[in-house]
Amino acid sequence: MFFVIGIGDNETRKAVLEMYPLDYGCAIHPSAVIGLQVEIGKGTVIMAGCAINPRTVIGKHCILNTMSSIDHDNQIGDYVHISPGASLGGAVTIGNGTHVGIGANVRNNVCICDEVVIGAGATVVRNLVRPDTYVGVPARVCT
């Protein structure tokens, strides 16, 4: 028997997991499409219709939500939440604790640091090097 925690808020999910050191596995919906050479960390939840392309590495205790698209060669940190309908281009790096909002897009070869929030519908076209909330097209710091 194994467990997963499906709490959407990254900080809350991490706090609950630290309180309960259990044997965590992965929960993968049968309609998810997972390519070759994909590594998935313990405690990760992959929802219906999610597509993960080859050579992607997904950290521990992530949520890849309904119909999200993760292209090839991505590096996704621990405690990341990719919301429904979000799309990551190829060779994207997502830092620990980052939240990618509903329908957001991240261009190929972009690096996003730890603890970033990307708003719903935002389009990230450049590296995000400081923790903050980014919104709009192209994504900018929310003021």
pTM as predicted: 0.94
The 10s digit of each residue's pLDDT in 55-110 is 999 999 999 999 999 999 999 999 999 999 999 999 999 999 999 999 999 999 99
Give the pLDDT score at 118. 98
Backbone angles phi, psi at 11, to 5 degrees: -65, -40
Does residue 72 carry a catalytic annotation?
A: yes
Q: Indicate the domain borders of the chain.
A: 10-141
Catalytic pick from 29, 61, 72, 99?
A: 72
CATH class of the domain defined by 10-141: mainly beta
Whose tokens are 């190929």? That residue is 108
